[in-house]
Structure 1
Amino acid sequence: MAYNYVVTAQKPTSVTHSLVGNFTHDNELNLIVAKCTRIEIHMLTPDGLQPMHDVPVYGRIAVMKLYRPAGEKRQLLYVATERLMFCVLAYDQTSGAIATRAMGDLSNTIGRPCEHGLIGEVDPECRLIGSQAYDGLFKVVPMDRAGQLREAFDVRLEELNVVDVKFMHGCATPTICVLYEDTKEARHVKTYEVDVKEKTLRDGPWSQSDVEGGSSLIIPVPAPLGGAIVVGESVIVYLNKDGGNGAGGAIATKSVNVMAHGVVDADGSRYLLSDSTGMLHLLVLVHDRRRVHALKLESLGQTSIASTLSYLDNGVVYVGSAYGDSQLVRLHAQPVRCAADQVPATPDGLTYVECLESFTNLGPIVDFAVVDLDRHGQGQVVTCSGVNKDGSLRVVRNGVGIHERAAIELPGVKGCWSLRRGDASTHPSDTHLVVSFAGETRILAIDDDDELAECEFRGFSANEQTLCVCNVDGGFVVQCVASGVRLVNAADGEPRATWSPPGGATVSVASANRTQALVATTGGSLYSLALGSAALIRETASASLDGKEIACLDCTPLSDPGDAAARLCAVGTWTAEVFLLTMPDLRLVTTSPLGGGGGGVIPRAVLLCSFEGTPHLLAGLGDGALHTFGVDPEAGTLRDGKSLSLGTQPITLRTFRSKGATHVFAGSDRPTVIYGNNGKLIYSNVNLREVLHACPFNCDAFPDSLALASESDLTIGGIDDIQKLHIRTVPLGEQPRRIAHQPETRTYAALTENFDENGYFVRLFDDVTFETLCKFRLEPDEQDSSVISCAFADDPRVYYVVGTGYSLPEEPEPTRGRILVFRAEDGKLQLVAEKEVKGAVYNLNAFNGKLLAGINSKVELFRGGDPVGADGAGGSTYELAKECSHHGHIVALYVAVRGEFIVVGDLMKSVSLLAYKPEESVIEERARDYNANWMTAVDILDDDTYLGAENNFNLFTLRRQSDAATDEERSRLEVVGEYHVGEFVNRFRRGSLVMRLPDQENADVPTLLFGTVSGVIGVLATLPREQFEFLSALQAALNKTVSGVGGLSHDAWRSFQNEHRHRAKDGARGFVDGDLIESFLDLRPEKAREVAAAVKLSVDELTRRVEDLQRLTH
């Protein structure tokens, strides 16, 4: 049985609802945003949006409304979920928390759910809340004058096919406006008054028959005008009882599919409309405050395709999107020049819309690839995201983000150090940057324009390569070069003292701190120097390590953040050893080999540092390996030696401070930040390709920055959170549908749809730069549906294989498709094989040197044939030959393979297990799940356990009963796990977002990643039974301690539910909710103690375990 842990690595990013109002304070304006299962609350400030709360909700948010009953200082938030639970939330200013005012259930035991989902509205006068969840029924929740909710009741609604319902403004009796479709598919508008006392509906003040057939939206108009706007595809009409036969004004539009709307003015004079192309329109009601005379519609400019619009203030609008990035835009009264990627609103290329800020949205993720480009054990995820023009590839990587603040082209850097002009103890900020090259040293400073410029520093040796620079106590600076050591005045650069190695030797490596320097010369001599006292350099000791050449050394004090003098120093030698000596007398304390003694790789950097107060010694080798040791500073001994590979090039090491803690920047071809957490060393990749040297550079212009040198340039960058997901966007301007990676050619192949060109394409990308290398257009009516990279048996070359289907209007499902085999060479796609098939190729898998395809209702196996051509050279083509197939599916949408096993996820018939018999060339069914699940993704956890996702946002696991007693039991897949993830999962992929370290607990735990429509990247880890049982107990303890927002139940939320089954009381089984587990880290101390006591652990130990699991998964 599989024991699974499900956790969110990336929270939902698709915006479904947004509101503006006074929720947290009566004088503060809030923007409230719903993202599927989370509510974000922001405050509007002069500097922009300030995040206040990010609240998880145990449900998918279907309705979100603000309202203010009489007597309330602030507005209340009404939230209803897709499972028909609702709550009323208020902001508690005393505690700064979200409080629950009321909760309830909108569901009925009978009734047919509406196809459009839940509609929920609050009466503008706060007299009742109305909802429609079932055809023919309208549920009413009355409110008294104080806003208290009373007992709900249902009223019968004659119209069965309701499109939209809204409450009208300015009515003495609560009045709803209903847009509906009759049996002849004509659409009409009717109003009803809600009689709360009689619990019934009465005919309202007006109605309108035969509105435009594409009408889909009602916008109620505030008093004093009242009435409603009905928005159709080609006509927008204003309706009111005083408008003459119901119509008060109408305007014809071009065919516009309105996706979202927002109110601009409190009196309802202006409205924003956004269409399916992302064009923003302004709808104006021309009126005299009593009567609407005309409607005007003006195009303003292009934004992301909106799912919600909220007018904030002063012409600023929040554009929430489920199809692309959400935006903060400003509306201009006069047109401005259009951005290059925008569609102009005027013929002369102008727009009224300016984008102020974008908010990243990964949704909808329809496919993704997990790629370990650096072969580091840590994957980066490349997603197919967005819709239509907002389509893009998103590169998601876990690690440290460096934000460039300044950069100059500066090739050949051999080292860099920050420097403070004057006394370092009284100057908190760095002023200069010392950059070393072969044969010279340059000094850079920040000029009046906050730019790096070269300057002079008198007293420094400029025509030698600097080996080390450091501020010294007393207002001095030490510079170590090949000829010796210089001490200069930090204020004016006046030379104060020099030291040269005896016998004309050359200094090869050096290190320094606030009072000491440690230098080594060619031949293996080591010298300890005292600095600064009476402006002198005093040699305190010398030593030789048996004549061994010294490769690197360090004398950083072993304290956090650092004393003035070191008591220990570390030395790495060309014999691949590290020595620990005392300072300042250079007495040998201990030694340790690095990777095999004299035959090992030479160390290039050693560093003494303390993480969380625990001393460590780090040694970076020339092959990218890093050795770490614990240090006992009293005994001078090394312990707990470990080794791991950070890259393939020599490592440099430098400490820096971030958020009050010591971190180490390990520079190489795969730069890494090292820090301590709960007694363990954590390694986070940096979002840069290469950093050879680094140093902290905390100047006034660029506070808390790092100077980072690569082979070609020097960058000043700010450091982001040490561990988080970083997202890079590759705009496509068309919608990506599938993606595959080919390591051998360092490329991606993505299948895209271009709505403007009305065509489907195969696009080849460079896997580093994401430059489009070439584009292959499919035939008319041919849609791409699958792509993989694979090799065929007895053929050393790799291919991209694309599956397609022809979508014809007269066919209910494709009857024809193609399998296309491409070879990627020199940035081009060469078509080498083409196979016509009878249906759409929904999926492809490499299968034991052959090709397995899901084609309509069949699973078919193909083998690569002999090359057609004289010599099988580049001009030859391949033949694909069908070997065998398996029938019996509705549509074989999803297929996963492992060994000889094939797992099929069907459109309607859940999951079936097939097996391939190579000796007989047949595929036969072994077992199936007889539940009716509409599948969205499948995968294989192990030989006997299979994972599925279905369209009601559930995950489930199935087990093959190979040891069952009867054939009937063996032919049935047993459901062993069920979990409501609350997300529409489109794809599972094997891989991890974090680096796995050899000494990490549960480092061998297998993980799957999944991507969803709302932009979630989730992680599913299969755990040992003992750990799963512990986490289940912790989950139960948290459930008793942590209350869900709005009083919603966690067990009910995570219980499996679809049209056929509902186990709200059972909760999940076979799964643990990692999001709930990680919420322990955010508990107040008293709550944390309560939970820890329930699982019989200390708070510290429980925190350590949860953080370890967090690092293991994301």
Structure 2
Amino acid sequence: YPLQTHASGVLREYGRSTGGREAECGPLVAVDHWNRCIAMHMFDGMVTVLPINQYYDPTQIDGAAGSGLKQGMAKRGHTSVTPPVLGEPFHVRIEERTLLSLCFLHAPMALLPQLALLHQDSRGMQHVISHSVDMRKKDLILYSNTSKTAGGVPSPSQRLKKSRVDGGSGFIIPVPPPPSTSAAAAAASASVSTSSSSATPKALSFSHMMGGVLILGQRQITYHNTAAGVTKVLPISPSLLLTCCLVEDENDSMGAIPGGGSNVRFLLGDETGRIHVVLLMSSSEGGGNAPTSLHLDTLGQASISSSLTYLPGGMIFVGSQFGDSQLLRILDEPIPIVGDAQTSEDQRLASGMEFGESTFLSVLDEYVNLGPIVDFDLVPTAHSPPSSASGGDSSSAIAADAAAAQGSALQHRQSQVVTASGSSTNGSIRLIRNGIGMNECASVDIPGIKNMWGLRRKWADKDDGYLVQSFVGETRILGVTEEEEEEDGENEEDEEDGGGTLEEVMIPGFDSSSSTLFVGNIAGGDLLVQITEREIRLVNCITLQCVSTWSPTDLDPDNSGAMITVASGNEFGQLVVALRGGMVLHFKVEDAIGLTFVEKSMMEREVSCIDLNPLRSGVTSDNTSSDAMDIDEPSKVRCAPVKSEVAAIGLWDDFTVRILSLHQSMPLKELLRVHLGSSDEDEE
């Protein structure tokens, strides 16, 4: 989906104007659950608040705004119908100096945004405290200010505060109230908003509607709710928890428990890559507005998480800066740990929270991440430059040295990069080279296969109809069989999108008892060509019968052991085959004559490969280039075949490519010889 930026800016100038020092723990950000403001801590002793415009409508930002937006803006004296999503930021002083984490509490909308802070004092003690954000006055109502108990500020007994929490606490997480109290909070907020504007709001009592916080420490997990007067502590083995996310799933039946209570669950990721789930269980006894117990279970091992996101359907996205990001599925039953996919038993025992030899996590997909790259090196490829021959005159030695130097330079340009990527348990060695990546969509296990070709039933067909497979001593053909339509009322578009199945078929004109070296369509005469070790066969596309053949014995009847070793062709009807011993033969297929021998040439060594692909594109029937591609309406007219003017041939034990002419005036004449591993090209 496309992303659209609705607001952006730089707060560097605001920091310079305040003269503050950048926070040692880095920038901290929190968003109010009612989308009223954003709080940021970037400078010691200061919090920056960005108000969010409640009348901002992203769907009408490019056009005329609705009447509701106009009325709301008119009440506030605004004349623009497209106000910015964020208001002017303002800075407020706080008493706490070293902030470790901040978040907005789950509270009714009738209350001002409640900002909770986890801070550390000069003696190293850590505490949790909350303040109210008054955006109308652009001020922060501190916890210590007990005189302001009206205008959406909780009473002093309901304000969150917890002193001397676990010394290794890293961050705090807001915990929503149970669903029943959330509905009551929404109703109370609505009643407050519809009350008379002339009446002065009194101190509000929402003790049963206020959410608490979950304090994640290295030795314990603490839940605290001052309004409900509840504090629960869950001791854990020493572990540094890095990430957390709330589990929200409308189709999840695990949230409700017998007795009218409810569960609140969070996913946690620690420094070793383990994924845990913490359950805050509550019951209907005592109002059911606070958890009665905490439970922690380990699901399994994953990449070290930098972010966690729970997706509906029991899936988790693990975003990692230290390894590959992963898409996981939570299983109902544990499965055994296979291979090195999980950490070793010694690592699990050393880090605590042992979960045995099984896991509740299954990896659905992985997203490669090379960073952080700790170290890297360039490794040359296996190709080495040609060595100079001993003896000879000085000029040949100088030329050989120059060729070796050029080959060495080319070798370094083709080097691969070996990186030491990741960190901790996600460390790995990665090999990077230039190339094209392939994504496997489907696979079929066919042992013994040597080569494959796609064939169209007719040359003008749009899609292939046969899949020819070459094995040792035999050839098999799979044909696409269209599925029969069960209903007669389907439109043409549905028929085009309908798929088919592959099943083994027979083409009578093909030799199925021999290995196939080349198969292709030929435009002239609408023919199929099959080249085996023993012969060349032309097959009619309509009758599927063989109409013409050629074998090496036709060239020399006395040489009964002659065999075709390499073959290639193109749709224009040009064929080039190589016989055992290095003999190269050129054929062409003509409409009226059929298969015609053109010329032969003898190579110094055995031929290893042949290619006849033309060097230019074809043209369609209306003389327009086939390179012009129309995605919306693809052309169904196949391009006319193009004649190849040259053939590329490679030889065994010879690091060269020979370019031979296919022109009628000088067939199979060597035009160019390219030495692989060097930049020297000798024209002849």
After TM superposition, the score normalised by the length of structure 1 is 0.40
Tell me, in whole angstroms, the C-alpha distance in 2 between the residues paired with 1:286 and 1:547. Answer: 83
Tell me, in whole angstroms, the C-alpha distance in 2 between the residues paired with 1:290 and 1:475. Answer: 80
Give the number of the structure whose residues are more often strand, by fraction: 1
Check conservation: 1:406, 1:451, Cα contact below 8 A.
no
Q: Are 2:369 and 1:361 aligned?
A: yes
State the Cα distance separating 1:146 from its structure 2 match.
2.5
State the Cα distance separating 1:626 from its structure 2 match.
9.2
Alignment of 1:254-653 (within 5 A): 254-265=237-248, 269-287=264-282, 288=284, 289-340=288-339, 341-342=341-342, 349-375=357-383, 376=411, 377-402=413-438, 405-406=443-444, 410=448, 416=451, 418-420=453-455, 422-426=457-461, 428-429=463-464, 431-435=466-470, 440=473, 442-443=475-476, 445=478, 457-461=507-511, 466=516, 468-473=518-523, 474=525, 476-481=527-532, 484-490=535-541, 493-499=544-550, 501-502=554-555, 504=557, 511-514=568-571, 516-519=573-576, 528-531=587-590, 533=592, 537-539=594-596, 542-543=598-599, 556-557=613-614, 559-561=616-618, 563-564=640-641, 566=643, 568-570=645-647, 578-582=659-663, 586-588=664-666, 593-595=671-673
1:963 maps to none
Check conservation: 1:507, 1:520, Cα contact below 8 A.
no
Alignment of 1:1030-1045 (within 5 A): none
State the Cα distance separating 1:271 from its structure 2 match.
0.9
2:215 maps to 230
Q: Could you list the per-position Cα deviations for residues 763-811 of structure 1 after superposition, in whole angstroms to 9, with x for gaps in the alignment?
A: xxxxxxxxxxxxxxxxxxxxxxxxxxxxxxxxxxxxxxxxxxxxxxxxx
Query: What count of residue pairs does the alignment treat as equivalent?
Result: 499
Secondary structure in 2 matching 1:366: strand
Q: Percent identity?
A: 28
The 1:642/1:278 distance shift into structure 2, 3 A limit, reads: farther
State the Cα distance separating 1:259 from its structure 2 match.
0.9
Alignment of 1:790-869 (within 5 A): none
The 1:580/1:115 distance shift into structure 2, 3 A limit, reads: same
Q: Could you list the per-position Cα deviations for residues 903-960 of structure 1 after superposition, in whole angstroms to 9, with x for gaps in the alignment?
A: xxxxxxxxxxxxxxxxxxxxxxxxxxxxxxxxxxxxxxxxxxxxxxxxxxxxxxxxxx
2:225 maps to 240
Gap regions ≥5 residues in structure 2? 57-84, 144-155, 183-209, 250-261, 384-410, 482-499, 619-638
2:5 maps to 98
Secondary structure in 2 matching 1:131: strand
The 1:445/1:179 distance shift into structure 2, 3 A limit, reads: same
Check conservation: 1:510, 1:517, Cα contact below 8 A.
no
The 1:279/1:492 distance shift into structure 2, 3 A limit, reads: farther
The 1:115/1:578 distance shift into structure 2, 3 A limit, reads: closer
Q: Could you list the per-position Cα deviations for residues 144-169 of structure 1 after superposition, in whole angstroms to 9, with x for gaps in the alignment?
A: 53354333332221111221121222
Tell me, in whole angstroms, the C-alpha distance in 2 between the residues paired with 1:493 and 1:364. Answer: 59
RMSD (Å), alpha carbons = 4.1
The 1:191/1:568 distance shift into structure 2, 3 A limit, reads: closer
Q: Are 2:102 and 1:157 aligned?
A: no
Check conservation: 2:337, 2:357, Cα contact below 8 A.
yes
Residue identity matched to 2:666: L
Tell me, in whole angstroms, the C-alpha distance in 1 between the residues paired with 2:546 and 2:463. Answer: 23
The 1:213/1:642 distance shift into structure 2, 3 A limit, reads: farther
2:161 maps to 207
Tell me, in whole angstroms, the C-alpha distance in 1 between the residues paired with 2:430 and 2:117. Answer: 41
Q: Could you list the per-position Cα deviations for residues 938-996 of structure 1 after superposition, in whole angstroms to 9, with x for gaps in the alignment?
A: xxxxxxxxxxxxxxxxxxxxxxxxxxxxxxxxxxxxxxxxxxxxxxxxxxxxxxxxxxx
Check conservation: 1:475, 1:489, Cα contact below 8 A.
yes
Residue identity matched to 2:15: S
State the Cα distance separating 1:297 from its structure 2 match.
1.7
1:776 maps to none
Alignment of 1:960-971 (within 5 A): none
State the Cα distance separating 1:488 from its structure 2 match.
2.5
Among 126, 143, 159, the alignment partner of 2:35 is 126
State the Cα distance separating 1:497 from its structure 2 match.
2.2
Check conservation: 2:601, 2:668, Cα contact below 8 A.
no
Tell me, in whole angstroms, the C-alpha distance in 1 between the residues paired with 2:588 and 2:570. Answer: 11
The 1:200/1:547 distance shift into structure 2, 3 A limit, reads: closer
2:76 maps to none
Check conservation: 2:448, 2:471, Cα contact below 8 A.
no
Q: Which moved more, 1:559-568 or 1:217-226?
A: 559-568
The 1:488/1:331 distance shift into structure 2, 3 A limit, reads: same
Residue identity matched to 2:460: S
Alignment of 1:138-177 (within 5 A): 138-146=47-55, 148-170=85-107, 172-177=111-116
The 1:410/1:403 distance shift into structure 2, 3 A limit, reads: farther
Check conservation: 1:520, 1:526, Cα contact below 8 A.
yes
Q: Could you list the per-position Cα deviations for residues 356-396 of structure 1 after superposition, in whole angstroms to 9, with x for gaps in the alignment?
A: 11111222211112212334322222221222222211112
Residue identity matched to 1:422: R
Secondary structure in 2 matching 1:301: strand
Check conservation: 1:524, 1:548, Cα contact below 8 A.
no
State the Cα distance separating 1:339 from its structure 2 match.
4.0
Tell me, in whole angstroms, the C-alpha distance in 2 between the residues paired with 1:576 and 1:365. Answer: 39
State the Cα distance separating 1:315 from its structure 2 match.
1.2
Tell me, in whole angstroms, the C-alpha distance in 1 between the residues paired with 2:679 and 2:468. Answer: 27
1:251 maps to 234
The 1:103/1:145 distance shift into structure 2, 3 A limit, reads: farther
Secondary structure in 2 matching 1:477: strand
The 1:198/1:275 distance shift into structure 2, 3 A limit, reads: closer
Tell me, in whole angstroms, the C-alpha distance in 2 between the residues paired with 1:314 and 1:124. Answer: 24
Secondary structure in 2 matching 1:98: coil
The 1:337/1:447 distance shift into structure 2, 3 A limit, reads: farther
Alignment of 1:1052-1091 (within 5 A): none
Q: Are 2:183 and 1:184 aligned?
A: no
Check conservation: 1:476, 1:532, Cα contact below 8 A.
no
Tell me, in whole angstroms, the C-alpha distance in 1 between the residues paired with 2:517 and 2:162. Answer: 85
Residue identity matched to 1:218: I
Q: Pick the structure with greater CA Rg.
A: 2
The 1:111/1:423 distance shift into structure 2, 3 A limit, reads: same
Check conservation: 1:164, 1:179, Cα contact below 8 A.
yes
Check conservation: 2:611, 2:647, Cα contact below 8 A.
yes
Check conservation: 2:300, 2:355, Cα contact below 8 A.
no
Q: Are 2:44 and 1:107 aligned?
A: no
The 1:447/1:252 distance shift into structure 2, 3 A limit, reads: farther
1:221 maps to 175
The 1:115/1:445 distance shift into structure 2, 3 A limit, reads: same
Residue identity matched to 2:417: V
Tell me, in whole angstroms, the C-alpha distance in 1 between the residues paired with 2:615 and 2:599. Answer: 21
Check conservation: 1:319, 1:327, Cα contact below 8 A.
yes
Check conservation: 1:417, 1:470, Cα contact below 8 A.
no
Residue identity matched to 2:94: L
Check conservation: 1:418, 1:430, Cα contact below 8 A.
no
Alignment of 1:867-886 (within 5 A): none
Gap regions ≥5 residues in structure 1? 1-51, 54-90, 92-96, 596-618, 629-640, 644-1114
Secondary structure in 1 matching 2:169: coil
Q: Which has the higher contact order (CA 8 A, sep 6+)?
A: 1
Give the number of the structure whose residues are more often helix, by fraction: 2
Tell me, in whole angstroms, the C-alpha distance in 2 between the residues paired with 1:590 and 1:517. Answer: 12
Tell me, in whole angstroms, the C-alpha distance in 2 between the residues paired with 1:272 and 1:478. Answer: 62
After TM superposition, the score normalised by the length of structure 2 is 0.63
Secondary structure in 1 matching 2:425: helix
Residue identity matched to 1:187: Q
1:11 maps to none
State the Cα distance separating 1:212 from its structure 2 match.
1.3
